[in-house]
Amino acid sequence: MLWAVLAAAAAPLQVARNAFQRGMIGEAGPWGATLVRFLFGLPFSLVLLAIAVLATPGAQPTPDLRFLLAVGGGGLAQIGATACLLVAMQRAGFAVATFLQQAALPMGALLGWLAFGDTMHPAQWLGVAVTSAGLLVLSWPRAGIRTLDSGALLGLAAAAFFAVSMNGYRQAGLALEPQHPIFAGIGSVVAAQAIQSTVLGGALAVLNPAALRAVFAAWRPSLGAGACGAGASALWFSALAMSPPGPVRAVGVIEAPIAALVGRTLFREKLTARQLVAGAATALGMVVTALN
């Protein structure tokens, strides 16, 4: 059950990180805002790692080739997922891209089972299925999806990359220190953010130095995004070191029904009968997944 608590706790931190990042897109652009979560999160992740080292004296990390391949593959897949999603939003629209990326949940569960032999309780498979269905209904675009054009295909590609990323991070934690999953999760965060900061920061330095300058100029809000992002990633990675990606991702979508309730309460946004039923199904799926 600890993994479910960690996954649920990561959701509000992720929402806060996204709020900080959204305020930076205008100046730094989408790629600069994406870099913030890695580059400015790294110092906070190093602090968390230092605390984990002191709190886990018996840990014996083994950063071998398996770990490096897993964390590097997961980090690069996450960047690839972001790239596909951004282009999909431009070509197919925000709603269609958001809908299609929800396929990452069942894809991640199936990939973990087929490629890595992750086992899940039958009730967890049911919970993942119900949560996936609820998410798909909640995010179904009003205009529908008429054709699988390049934008729609890129949305599915983003989901596939996210599924690879989740499984990569899980395998990295298991390779680094399987007996101490929280230590392993935080250590994997540090390695992933270092790789992502180097790759994405280097690319921006060459291709778009103005965006890189804007990131450093906005260092104060970037620190907020980095702190929240480091905390969320530490919780996500630790949960993934304890449980297959499917259940972790299913519990993590707790932010979706919460966001709907907040919109209804604070902003008087009207929810349709379809949204209410789908939100209830999503919540039910999360509960079933977490309790098994």
Chain-centre distance for alpha carbon 162: 8
Q: pLDDT tens across 210-263, in order?
A: 989 988 988 887 898 889 989 999 999 999 999 999 899 888 777 665 555 555
Reported confidence tier of residue 12, pLDDT bands at 50, 70, 90:
confident
Reported confidence tier of residue 179, pLDDT bands at 50, 70, 90:
very high
Reported confidence tier of residue 191, pLDDT bands at 50, 70, 90:
very high
What pLDDT is recorded for position 143? 56
Q: DSSP per residue over 28-60, as a string?
A: HHHHHHHHHHHHTHHHHHHHHHHHHHHH-TT--
Reported confidence tier of residue 19, pLDDT bands at 50, 70, 90:
low
What pLDDT is recorded for position 230? 94
Residue 189 DSSP SS3: helix
What pLDDT is recorded for position 30? 74
* Mean pLDDT (the chain, rounded): 84
What pLDDT is recorded for position 292? 63
Give the contacts of 210 (CB within 8 A, at least 6 positions apart): none
Give the whole-angstrom CA distance, residue 252 versus residue 12: 10
Give the whole-angstrom CA distance, residue 118 versus residue 124: 12
Q: pLDDT tens across 26-82, in order?
A: 667 778 878 888 999 999 999 999 999 999 999 999 999 999 999 999 999 998 888
Find where tokens 């702190």 sit. Answer: 227
Structure-block tokens of residue 267: 């902003």
Tell if the pTM clears 0.75, that is, is over it.
yes
| Domain residue limits, the chain | 2-290
What pLDDT is recorded for position 288? 78
Q: pLDDT tens across 95-151, in order?
A: 667 667 778 889 999 999 999 999 888 989 998 998 888 877 766 666 555 555 677
What pLDDT is recorded for position 21? 63
SS (H, E, C) 113-180: HHHHCCCCCHHHHHHHHHHHHHHHHHHCCCCCCCCCCHHHHHHHHHHHHHHHHHHHHHHHHHHHCCCC
Give the whole-angstrom CA distance, residue 34 versus residue 38: 7
What pLDDT is recorded for position 96? 66
Query: Which 8-state DSSP code applies to residue 243?
Result: S
What pLDDT is recorded for position 66? 96
